[in-house]
Amino acid sequence: MSFDFFYKYRRGLIALFVLLTIGSAFLLPQVKFNFSFEQFFPQGDKDLEFFQNFVNEFETDDNFLLIALEHEDGVFDSTFLENVRAFSLECKALEEVRSVQALPLFRYPVMTPFGPNSVAALHWDDEERLLQDSIRLMSDERVRFNLLNKDGTATAVVLKTIDGMQIEASKSFMKAINSALEKHELDQYYMLGRAYFQTELSAMQFREIMVSTIISGFLISLIMIVLYKKPWSIFVALSSIGVGLVLFLGLLTLLDRELTIMAALYPVLMLIVGTSDVVHIMTKYFDELKKGFQRKAAILTTIKQIGLATLLTSLTTAAGFATLLSSRIGPIRDFGVNSAIGVVLAFIVVILFTCPMLTLFSKSQLVPEDVSKDKWPGWMLQFYEWTNRNRREVFIAFMAFLVLSAWGISMIHTNYAIEENLPRGQKITEDFQYFENEFAGFRPLEIAVFIGEDYEVYDYEVLRSIHELQEYILSKEEIQTAFSLSTLVKSINQMNNSNRSEAYVFPEREAYPKVRRLMNRTKMSGLDLLISKDRRKTRISSKIKDIGSENIGVLGDDIDGWIAANIDSSVVQFKQTGTGIILDKNSEFVRESLLSGLGIALLIVSVLMGLLFRRFKVLLLALIPNIIPLLFAAALLGYFNVALEAGISIVFAIIFGIAVDDTIHFLSKYKLAMDELKDREAALLVSYKEAGKAIVFTSIILFFGFLVLLFSSHPPSVTIGALISVTLLSALIADLTILPVLIRFFKI
């Protein structure tokens, strides 16, 4: 279909896009946000499969809500304890809650003439007994760092919730919890858990999208005013960019695609990609108008020369994002697919909406009258001459850059911590830090226990092995609480010895038979969550401090080494699992998926460039400058000690996908100029003057556009924004320095 058709029906195309934009705007309130740790589980991993089977037999390890209630004068205050008790009982009545642990509800098992029973651990109606109770509880390992902080100034209410709570249920649940806290006048509190994370982080996603959209929109508006000056030019540019963003978000809603933790990148990405396409099209169109061509001829030339290059850049950018499909992590794959859709949509908008819009206005309405002040040709001429005179220096600088990059890359690590992914200056981060400092922390560590064929779950040898391992892991500074059958055995031994504090120990073999008989008679809370239905498996549940994934891996290896040296595997076998360990597995796969993804991207881009230029040398020239920003980004990670984790890994897909655009525009113009002028230096000069101007414009827009992410409260987004901004400048420098030098050297 010829462009005459589009020109003839340009008003109809504009009307169609206006209607689609209005329809998409009505869909925006239906945009869905979601967050859960399961999203970040690496699919296809054998340890994940084991964990899922473990969860099916026991329970998930993130089905809890921790609520720390602070009382500066000490929690052993009768009025405060009564309020905590009333709050805990109200929480227990909520349909989302399966069980409640709280200091006022804590009970000691005791032996009575009628059999095993329990008594309250606290007597807050008697000050003297309450003081004795406080001394005892402060030294009880079942309570310390679990229900009490080390100073006794805060107590935690531990709510076990239903498994797999989703975001809407979490919001409703947290509303009820906050209402109960207010009702019982508990205003100094900190929270941690799945429902709290989902509620707060989904709210953060919405805030981030709004902030990034507003700031990006303001920045791009300012840039357009500086670039084009004429009101109608600015109107066309901004309306095109806005239409692309609204259509993109509307399409995601229509496709029922949920926005995850990286959703804040979408507005920035769409505004910037859309701006880049618009600038290239409008710059060329204005140049044609300045040459005296009529609107129809000018837009036809623009589409033939720049439209094809823009199509290729859109496909290569989409291919860069599509490489994220190689990731094992769902949100990363979704981000890649959604971004690829957005890039293609931005191209469609610029061809079918922006181009028709431009033809509605005259040259005088779009192009500033005084073109004599345009200093860009002179600047580009100076840059052309500088690279021509300093070829050797450019090559030496390139080699030095490679050496420095290799050094930085050698320092890359994957020791990320959960706190590094939490929003800065927000209560959720303050709460996380509070539990890290005052209680046992957040990260679950589960140890699955497999009982040997010749043994049963309550056999002394089995429980003794569990006890020894539990004592070993509790000797680690990073682990302060643990719960297992060993905990129950010690509790019953204490019960069998008049509930004396010193009797809370694992019994010797000769005393164990009596303890075992009592275990069969005693109904203990949580026993069903410790022993599998076939009674061949049990567990040790603990929490570990957020010390970084690599450090946790070292600690895990140490525990495995101790097990191998001290535990008889014919009695029991142990395997570490849990949400934290599964998430840490991502660090093992991030390098693998990153390299494979970039390899696929290089292949796709090679094919596309091969179809365009049909020369192997040109293909190599196109790839070399675009390796520079990738190496630069990786080196910065090493130099600034930034952990390479799943979220940060998307930087490389974004950089490669966008950086290659400028190279394509420069080489496309060079190819057209060579076909016409048949002279290398003349063609290079034309490429600098025409393509160079648009490349510099778009690079400046990209630089400041991604810097918008510095306003984010989400640390990975800040890192992503800073990395992309700086490295895209390196891509611009590479395209205007090393690329022309290589063209001259290889005599393309």
Question: Beta strands of 8-106 (E only): which ranges?
Answer: 64-70, 97-101
Distance from C-alpha of 545 to C-alpha of 565, rounded to nearest angstrom: 25
Residue 333, sorted as left (phi over 0), alpha (psi -120 to 50) or beta, turns out to be alpha
Query: Please, which residues have CB within 8 angstroms of residue 547's CB and are 6 or more apart in sequence?
Result: 417, 478, 555
Distance from C-alpha of 447 to C-alpha of 464, rounded to nearest angstrom: 15
Backbone φ and ψ of 390, nearest 5°? -115, 45
743 in Cβ contact with 621 (< 8 Å)? yes
Parent domain of 64 = 58-199
Q: Are 434 and 573 within one domain?
A: yes
Distance from C-alpha of 17 to C-alpha of 319, rounded to nearest angstrom: 26
Closest CA to 108 of 464, 503, 457, 485: 503
pLDDT, residue 179, reads 95
The CATH number that applies at residue 76 is 3.30.310
Q: Which residues of 464-474 are buried (b: 16+ CB within 10 A; e: fewer)?
A: bbbbebbebbe
Instruction: Decide: helix, strand or coil at residue 733.
Output: helix
SS3 assignment for 498-519: CCCHHHCCCCCHHHHHHHHHHH
734 in Cβ contact with 387 (< 8 Å)? no
Place of tokens 């992503």: 720
416 domain-assigned: no
Question: Beta strands of 569-645 (E only): which ranges?
Answer: 572-577
Q: Are 571 and 601 within one domain?
A: no
424 domain-assigned: no
Distance from C-alpha of 192 to C-alpha of 78, rounded to nearest angstrom: 26
The CATH number that applies at residue 307 is 1.20.1640.10
Closest CA to 742 of 607, 616, 617: 617
448 domain-assigned: yes
48 domain-assigned: no
| Region 730-748 average pLDDT | 84
Q: Are 252 and 351 within one domain?
A: yes
Q: Are 480 and 455 within one domain?
A: yes
pLDDT exceeding 70 applies to what percent of the chain? 89
Place of tokens 């003349």: 682
**Arithmetic mean of pLDDT over the chain:** 83
121 vs 562, higher pLDDT: 562
| Region 15-28 average pLDDT | 90
Query: Please, which residues have CB within 8 angstroms of residue 337's CB and are 6 or more apart in sequence?
Result: 321, 322, 324, 325
421 domain-assigned: no
Quick one: DSSP state of residue 60?
A: -
Which of the listed residues 146, 170, 199 is the one where a domain comes to its end?
199
- The 10s digit of each residue's pLDDT in 149-188 is 989 999 999 999 888 788 888 899 999 999 999 999 998 9
- The 10s digit of each residue's pLDDT in 104-133 is 999 887 776 666 777 888 887 888 888 888
Q: Are 671 and 563 within one domain?
A: no
**Residue 271, token pair as written in the block:** 């505004």
**Residue 637, token pair as written in the block:** 């990670």
| Region 191-217 average pLDDT | 82
pLDDT, residue 573, reads 95
CA 644 to chain centre: 12
- The 10s digit of each residue's pLDDT in 284-312 is 888 888 888 888 888 888 888 887 778 87
Q: Are 615 and 666 within one domain?
A: yes
Q: Are 604 and 685 within one domain?
A: yes
Closest CA to 109 of 498, 472, 416, 445: 498
Burial degree of 4 (CB within 10 A; 0-12, 13-18, 19+):
exposed
- The 10s digit of each residue's pLDDT in 567-623 is 999 999 999 988 777 777 766 666 666 666 667 666 766 676 666 666 667 777 777
Q: Are 572 and 635 within one domain?
A: no
Residue 440: what residue type? A
Looking only at Cα atoms, what is the longest distance across the chain?
107
Task: Give residue 378's pLDDT band: very low, low, confident or very high (50, 70, 90).
Answer: confident
Which of the listed residues 177, 199, 221 is the one where a domain comes to its end?
199
- The 10s digit of each residue's pLDDT in 434-486 is 999 999 888 888 999 999 999 999 999 999 999 999 999 999 999 988 999 99
Q: Which residues of 677-688 are buried (b: 16+ CB within 10 A; e: fewer)?
A: eeebeebbbbbb
Query: Please, which residues have CB within 8 angstroms of residue 726's CB and are 6 or more apart in sequence?
Result: 632, 636
pLDDT, residue 323, reads 75
50 domain-assigned: no
695 vs 558, higher pLDDT: 558
| Region 318-346 average pLDDT | 81
Residue 96: what residue type? E
- The 10s digit of each residue's pLDDT in 33-49 is 666 666 666 677 788 78
Number of domains making up the chain: 3
Instruction: Decide: helix, strand or coil at residue 640.
Output: coil
Distance from C-alpha of 340 to C-alpha of 258, rounded to nearest angstrom: 16
Distance from C-alpha of 560 to C-alpha of 732, rounded to nearest angstrom: 50
How far apart, in Å, are the Cα atoms of 480 and each of 153, 397, 442, 477, 529?
18, 53, 11, 7, 21
Place of tokens 């097990």: 563
698 in Cβ contact with 276 (< 8 Å)? yes
Q: Are 322 and 461 within one domain?
A: no
Which of the listed residues 169, 184, 199 is the one where a domain comes to its end?
199
Lowest-pLDDT range of 132-141, 223-232, 585-594, 632-641: 585-594
Closest CA to 651 of 335, 435, 400: 335
Question: Beta strands of 318-438 (E only): which ranges?
Answer: none
44 domain-assigned: no
Q: Are 380 and 434 within one domain?
A: no
| Region 228-254 average pLDDT | 88
pLDDT exceeds cutoff 90 at 67: yes
**Residue 189, token pair as written in the block:** 């509190």
Residue 614, sorted as left (phi over 0), alpha (psi -120 to 50) or beta, turns out to be left
663 in Cβ contact with 625 (< 8 Å)? yes
Query: Please, which residues have CB within 8 angstroms of residue 495's CB and are 6 or more apart in sequence?
Result: 108, 109, 110, 111, 116, 518, 522
Quick one: DSSP state of residue 33?
A: B
Q: Are 140 and 247 within one domain?
A: no
43 domain-assigned: no
pLDDT exceeds cutoff 80 at 719: yes
Distance from C-alpha of 136 to C-alpha of 147, rounded to nearest angstrom: 13
Task: Give residue 1's pLDDT band: very low, low, confident or very high (50, 70, 90).
Answer: very low
pLDDT, residue 699, reads 83
Q: Are 483 and 561 within one domain?
A: yes
